[in-house]
Structure 1
Amino acid sequence: MAIFRYLTAGSIIALAAAHSALAQSDEPVIVVTGEGLQETPAAPAYDVQVVDEEQLRSTSSGRIEDALSSVAGFQQFRRSDSRSANASAQGATLRALGGNASSRALVLLDGVPMSDPFFGYVPFSALAPERLSQIRVTRGGGAGPFGAGALAGTIELESAGINALQGFAGQLLANDRGETEASASAGVQLGSGFVVASGRWDRGEGFYTTPVADRVPASARASFDGWSAQLRGAAPIASDVELQFRGLAYRGTRTLRFEGADSSIEGQDASIRLVGRGEWQFDAIAYVQSRNFTNVVISSTLFTPVLDQRNTPSTGLGGKLELRPPVGGDHVLRFGADYRLSDGELFETAISAFSGNVTARRNAGGINTDFGLFLEDDWTLGALTMTAGARLDRWTIRAGFFSERDQAGLPSKATTYPDRAGWDVSFRGGLLFRANETVAIRAAAYSSLRLPTLNELYRPFVVFPVETQANADLENERLEGFEAGIDLTPVEGVSLSFTAFDNRVQNAIANVTIDTNLRQRRNIDSIHSRGVEASAKADIGDFSMDASASWTDAEARGSGLAAMLDGKRPSQTPRFIGGATLSYRPARNWLLSTTLRYIGAQFEDDLETDVLPSATTLDAFARVPITGKLALILRGENLLGETIVTRNQGGSIDLGAPRTVWGGLHYGF
């Protein structure tokens, strides 16, 4: 918290000083954007889909993971959203390359990695969609900045600027269960710069995730209570150099299945960014993250606490420097370096379900680092744009340990793991050929890297009745893949995109069954995913349509102790996902939309014994102006009342959100 406060205060002082200096000069006023550098010309050579501002603000649940569900191939480990899922299970991946709860996709907010330093999950509940201008999803391995985390692709969240957030805006909604969602923002332009403050608070008793037939007196609703606050600013410090700052603080609590099964997440993040748009363009970022996680596990037979993961403090530090020198009109060259450090520990207490006495106290953790050098060049030759890039990573896995004390406080186990380090090289390249205004053809090939998280290396966990062990010997995952696609614009306002891909993750980390109700995180030979992604967008008069679908043929390859997985589909991986949103704008500031989504059947486990059935959901959103800047908001989730099974472990089942109707008021933009 101290680091967060100092960085926040220092950045506000810097913004004020920059504003004052500019006001006293005779230089022309420069209005800053708060954005990073522009995308390079060859960015469309890769499989990209954009979620725009309207899509972000018109989700039926008000959750960012709901907006991301419109992207073909996006997947979380479980089907639950951030109101009814344990946060440690909320990783993000693309292209059916899941299989465990860690993120195989790199999630960036204004250029800063957002995954938790210890677990690798994404704090979705802290990322309010109303603060964003767009989300840009690039599927396929990345070799650019922070590319060591972009195994399956990159999800770039961009904050909205002062043009969208100037003045005051607020929203208050409630649903048919009495849950509430409240958010507000205030933005002011300071000379050539701006400052925006925003906050959000969500709370509610939740719904029963346990089926009616399985409920017991100790069964509890999936209650949630979470808030987040963000302060963001930008100011020019020269005619072509912009200083940006962002501070984010959040906390959330959830209860799952049983009374007392409480978990919490909290974080304080701060970042500073310098963007230069002159002849020598540059983008420099420094960030710090302080995170924590707690979790209480309740016995499903005696309904008393058996494990108290009371503290999991972690720290993330890092930054990047990217340079784009003037090399000529046909080329855009970018090169630079980045660094990430993840440092975290787990403190947990094992408790006897019968006596309530402490049986063991455990402590585990370590430090992971990655230093990367990257280089990429785009070359435009008329209708043809080519790109090629490379990345060199120096990674370390060090200071790993696990210790345990018995009920008397005496050491019963103390293990330190040898430090490891190495070098890895990644490449990517692509081409984009614009045959005419209607047709663009693209192709790409790539490789990428992901280090195991501290959670995978050192933290065991139990989701009754299955125990999953950690594994300090895990090796890095490495992806190699290629793709080809075509983008069509048959008429104005209509666009179509089709991509075929083949991706293979070597040394994929999976939860491998090694005995009855016992699994361990292990590297298997590979996960091989092949498939097709398609998207369509149309704007015709007052109507618009956005549709996206993916079909994948994914299978695990295993040998030795993982031979039983060979040829099986990775857990939590559906074969088909698709959805479409139809919107109607009968008048200015009106919006009526409905979204239909389908997710295919998938397996809970690696041995394909527990099935999660397919699910089809219908959502709706309406914004109806009342007067001036005031509007009525109506939202509907799962209006068909579909039974969504989110977990099935040996018949122990959890369910997703039932039919939910929201109503409230919005004031502002």
Structure 2
Amino acid sequence: MTIQARMAHDRIRYLASTSLVIAAAIVSTVPAHAENAGDTPSSPIVVTGRGLEESPATPAYDVERIDRDQIVTSASGRIEDVLSSIAGFQQFRRSDSRSSNPSAQGVTLRALGGNASSRTLVLLDGVPVANPFFGYIPLSALTPDRLASIRVTRGGGAGAFGTGAVSGTIELTSAGPRDMGPLQALALVNDRGETQTSATLAPNLGAGFLVASVQWDRGQGFWTTPGSQRVDASSRAAYDSWSASLRGVAPLNDTVELQASAMAYDDRRTLRFKGADSTSSGQQASLRLVGRGDWQFDVLGYVQAQDFSNVVISSTRFVKALDQAKTPTTTVGGKFELRPPVGDAHVLRMGADIRLTQGRLLEMPYSTFTGARTAIRRAGGDQSDVGFYVEDDWTLGNLVLTAGGRADRWTIRNGFYREITPGGAVNEDTAFADRSGWTGNVRGGFVWHPSNTVSLRAAAYTGMRMPTLNELYRPFVVFPVVTQANAALKLEKLRGYEVGVDTRPFEALTLSLTAFDNKLKNAIANVTLSDDGNLRQRQNVDAIRARGLEASAALDLGQVQFDGSLSWTDSEVQASGIQADLDGMRPSQVPKLAASGTIAWLPKPGWRIAATVRHVGRQFEDDQQTQALPAFTTLDAYMKVPVMPLVSVVLRGENLTDETIITRDQAGSIDLGTPRTVWAGLRVGFR
């Protein structure tokens, strides 16, 4: 472990222990009801554990919400499965977080994919969770059982940490005792003998609460390699992951609350071959003050340490070809947002945020003939972003107008790539030039309610994303394809428009339709350079343009519920010069059509019987559209049946029709997604 990473670990342990002790002490000493000087009882202090309420103009943008009942009842129990119910959500690859390489877990919206870095900002209680070096999301650490709600906003963001939101923002909000009760536990086993267990303790303490949670998933995994391509070295996609979190929320007075959180996780996987092991681990801690008085404010500070390792096994000789020994990354950040009292018709948001990141890579290639280490490589750099934003919502009767802007000062510094031989001779030692600059982004729109049943909305926005340290400085190999880094990558810049209508023709039915046009300039893609397709480089193409429709429907008839979504997108690369062959092609890994629908039956209190059909259209593995990944349609199911006052039997089924899901096709070398999988177990819950 580097000195910097060790210091970050020490900071996290200190911050987590100190902040949670403070929160627990406050919780234990603040009474459930505050009294004034005359001993007249006042209203109870209500502690939410959440940020400030959304503004009136939030519906001007294309927003969807997922409530807790949907979050905790997916067939797989994985967060990516839950998010797949949102039209336009996709990962870089079709694999879930048990059977993919963690570095491929980039998420995006609006068909703006093309590489493994996330173009969507993912926040957990206001804290960005993406790995800053690679841009992937640690999906296995984001346990659905810990969440109260999810809000997905498509399109560029201009609020806090908005530089990462070129395709949208996914905001995860943690649950408290009011959402889950004081105790819950889950234990499941599937037909391959794999297990999923979790437990959460959430007591109310005084006027506040604590939430302690742990989850452990492990199993031998399924065969990702087709039977006809397996060799003696082939391996199931074994996985062993755990995550733990501790959160304390306490009032400081009747309008201000303190939120202190800490989380740690570790995820180990094997992909395709014996010894092809990867690890993803991290620790983070945060302190947050939320004020809901006349002068509302949200102050957040956090620190993170993440690491990644990966062993590459040769697909021809089945011995170690590369050991990515460690990739320690540390981040310190925070935000301050103020909402001054400017009248009932206005909600004014002003704020600033900062992120400081340092990432380093150590890897060692090996000869597949002798087994000897052939070199030692180090790469990395530092990045920073300081942003200032302001946004105003103005309510004029049935019309709400919104406009906002954001200015960012960004830096990319201390970039380097070094390679030496085992004997110490220098093969390459490159220090890359520092870069910095200012960028500005804006967004605005309106939502008009011509009647109680119809809302019309329109919005326009711009956005920006910095290239990750991985894209800038780290070459990689997925044999036989070599992908080169590019330290000269430009910032991605978004321009987008959208119009939509939301309607509730009767109380039980909600419908939504959005048309959008997004253009991502300087889009970073893995561009093929050689005729045989085995040499690629990360480059800025002129643009990725995505135009399409997103639709959703929700029906609630009490005992019968339905939720559905559909995304149809015409997405194409705009390229010129040496990239002209890509012009007009669809970006890699982007389907034209994706849809899902879930119907649920709730015959009695505590019961839930549901089925989900999901369809993903054809995608291309590469930028040249030479390797197509066929469309697939899956059927999932979920059943929860109470058998005792506090105990329910849970049955879950993934891909019940055993549809073949091809997640990678490199010149005929194929990886497969989740086959038919059936789970059974018990859920214990105290309400």
Query: TM-score, structure 2 length as denominator?
Result: 0.96
Q: Distance in 1 between matches of 2:624 and 2:132?
A: 30
Residue 355 of structure 2 is matched in structure 1 by: 340
Q: Distance in 1 between matches of 2:466 and 2:164?
A: 8
Provide Cα deviations, 1:453-505, integer angstroms capped at 9, x if missing partner: 01111111111221111111101000001000000100011000000000000
Q: Distance in 2 between matches of 1:69 and 1:21?
A: 43
| SS class of match (2:486) | coil
1:581 to 589, 598, 603: 598
Residue 495 of structure 1 is matched in structure 2 by: 510
1:180 to 170, 187, 195: 195
Shift of 1:538: 0.3
Q: Distance in 2 between matches of 1:608 and 1:370?
A: 36
Indicate yes or no: 2:629 matched with 1:612: yes
Shift of 1:652: 1.0
- Say if 1:31 and 1:192, in contact at 8 Å, map to a contact too: yes
2:306 to 291, 298, 304: 291
Shift of 1:432: 0.3
1:223 to 238, 245, 249: 238
Residue 6 of structure 2 is matched in structure 1 by: none
Shift of 1:80: 0.3
- Say if 2:563 and 2:599, in contact at 8 Å, map to a contact too: yes
- Say if 2:613 and 2:633, in contact at 8 Å, map to a contact too: yes
Q: In the TM superposition, what are the counterparts of 1:373-392 in structure 2 within 5 Å?
A: 373-392=388-407
| SS class of match (1:8) | helix
- Say if 2:27 and 2:249, in contact at 8 Å, map to a contact too: no
Of residues 459-468 and 618-627 in structure 1, the stretch that sits farther from structure 2 once superposed is: 459-468
Q: Distance in 1 between matches of 2:31 and 2:675?
A: 55
Residue 521 of structure 1 is matched in structure 2 by: 538
Residue 648 of structure 2 is matched in structure 1 by: 631
Residue 463 of structure 2 is matched in structure 1 by: 448
Q: Distance in 2 between matches of 1:541 and 1:278?
A: 37
Q: In the TM superposition, what are the counterparts of 1:141-160 in structure 2 within 5 Å?
A: 141-160=156-175
Look up the equivalent residue of 1:564 and give its one-letter code: D
Q: In the TM superposition, what are the counterparts of 1:386-401 in structure 2 within 5 Å?
A: 386-401=401-416
| SS class of match (1:238) | coil
Q: Distance in 1 between matches of 2:363 and 2:225?
A: 26
Shift of 1:16: 3.1
Q: Distance in 2 between matches of 1:236 and 1:76?
A: 38
Shift of 1:409: 2.2
Shift of 1:110: 0.4
| SS class of match (2:15) | helix
Shift of 1:541: 2.9
Q: In the TM superposition, what are the counterparts of 1:653-668 in structure 2 within 5 Å?
A: 653-668=670-685
Residue 493 of structure 2 is matched in structure 1 by: 478
| SS class of match (2:200) | strand
Residue 559 of structure 1 is matched in structure 2 by: 576
Look up the equivalent residue of 2:20 and give its one-letter code: I
Q: Distance in 2 between matches of 1:418 and 1:21?
A: 54
- Say if 1:388 and 1:429, in contact at 8 Å, map to a contact too: yes
Q: Distance in 2 between matches of 1:241 and 1:138?
A: 27
- Say if 2:339 and 2:348, in contact at 8 Å, map to a contact too: yes
- Say if 1:494 and 1:538, in contact at 8 Å, map to a contact too: yes
Indicate the RMSD between aligned Cα atoms, in angstroms: 1.0
Shift of 1:123: 0.3
- Say if 2:20 and 2:261, in contact at 8 Å, map to a contact too: no
Look up the equivalent residue of 1:454 and give its one-letter code: L
Q: Distance in 2 between matches of 1:237 and 1:417?
A: 48
- Say if 1:514 and 1:561, in contact at 8 Å, map to a contact too: no
Shift of 1:13: 2.4
Query: Kindly, what percent of the aligned residue pairs are identical?
Result: 58
Q: Distance in 2 between matches of 1:421 and 1:16?
A: 42
Shift of 1:211: 0.6
Residue 571 of structure 1 is matched in structure 2 by: 588
Indicate yes or no: 2:450 matched with 1:435: yes
Q: Distance in 1 between matches of 2:215 and 2:24?
A: 26
Q: 1:642 to 1:415 in 2, by over 3 A?
A: same
Residue 12 of structure 2 is matched in structure 1 by: 4
- Say if 1:576 and 1:600, in contact at 8 Å, map to a contact too: yes
Provide Cα deviations, 1:257-302, integer angstroms capped at 9, x if missing partner: 0000000000001011000000000001001100000000000010
Q: Distance in 2 between matches of 1:13 and 1:631?
A: 35
- Say if 1:393 and 1:423, in contact at 8 Å, map to a contact too: yes
- Say if 1:126 and 1:227, in contact at 8 Å, map to a contact too: yes
Shift of 1:184: 0.3
Q: Distance in 1 between matches of 2:45 and 2:547?
A: 48
- Say if 1:15 and 1:243, in contact at 8 Å, map to a contact too: yes
Look up the equivalent residue of 1:548 and give its one-letter code: S
Q: Distance in 2 between matches of 1:558 and 1:612?
A: 23
Q: Distance in 1 between matches of 2:623 and 2:432?
A: 28
- Say if 2:24 and 2:210, in contact at 8 Å, map to a contact too: no
Shift of 1:23: 4.0
Residue 69 of structure 1 is matched in structure 2 by: 84
Query: TM-score, structure 1 length as denominator?
Result: 0.99
Shift of 1:559: 1.4
Look up the equivalent residue of 2:402 and give its one-letter code: T
Q: Distance in 1 between matches of 2:507 and 2:365?
A: 63
Indicate yes or no: 2:47 matched with 1:32: yes
Look up the equivalent residue of 1:19 and give its one-letter code: V
| SS class of match (2:179) | helix
Q: Runs of 5+ in structure 1 lacking a partner?
A: none
Shift of 1:239: 1.6
Shift of 1:661: 0.3
1:170 to 174, 177, 185: 185
1:16 to 21, 24, 27: 24
Q: Distance in 2 between matches of 1:165 and 1:286?
A: 26
Indicate yes or no: 2:295 matched with 1:280: yes
- Say if 1:165 and 1:196, in contact at 8 Å, map to a contact too: no
Look up the equivalent residue of 1:545 and give its one-letter code: F
- Say if 1:313 and 1:345, in contact at 8 Å, map to a contact too: yes
Residue 316 of structure 1 is matched in structure 2 by: 331
- Say if 1:299 and 1:305, in contact at 8 Å, map to a contact too: yes
Look up the equivalent residue of 1:226 and give its one-letter code: S
- Say if 1:484 and 1:499, in contact at 8 Å, map to a contact too: yes
1:240 to 239, 249, 255: 255
Q: Distance in 2 between matches of 1:397 and 1:637?
A: 43
Shift of 1:17: 3.5
- Say if 1:247 and 1:269, in contact at 8 Å, map to a contact too: yes
Residue 97 of structure 2 is matched in structure 1 by: 82
Look up the equivalent residue of 1:221 and give its one-letter code: R
1:603 to 611, 620, 631: 620
Shift of 1:552: 0.2
Residue 100 of structure 1 is matched in structure 2 by: 115
Provide Cα deviations, 1:106-138, integer angstroms capped at 9, x if missing partner: 000001101002111000000000100111000
| SS class of match (1:5) | helix
Indicate yes or no: 2:267 matched with 1:252: yes
Q: Distance in 1 between matches of 2:67 and 2:120?
A: 20
Indicate yes or no: 2:278 matched with 1:270: no
Shift of 1:30: 1.5
Q: Runs of 5+ in structure 2 lacking a partner?
A: 1-8, 37-41
Shift of 1:26: 4.1
Q: Distance in 1 between matches of 2:65 and 2:27?
A: 33
Shift of 1:21: 4.8
Q: Distance in 2 between matches of 1:136 and 1:563?
A: 38
Shift of 1:164: 2.0
Residue 404 of structure 1 is matched in structure 2 by: 419
Shift of 1:22: 2.8
2:367 to 352, 367, 372: 352
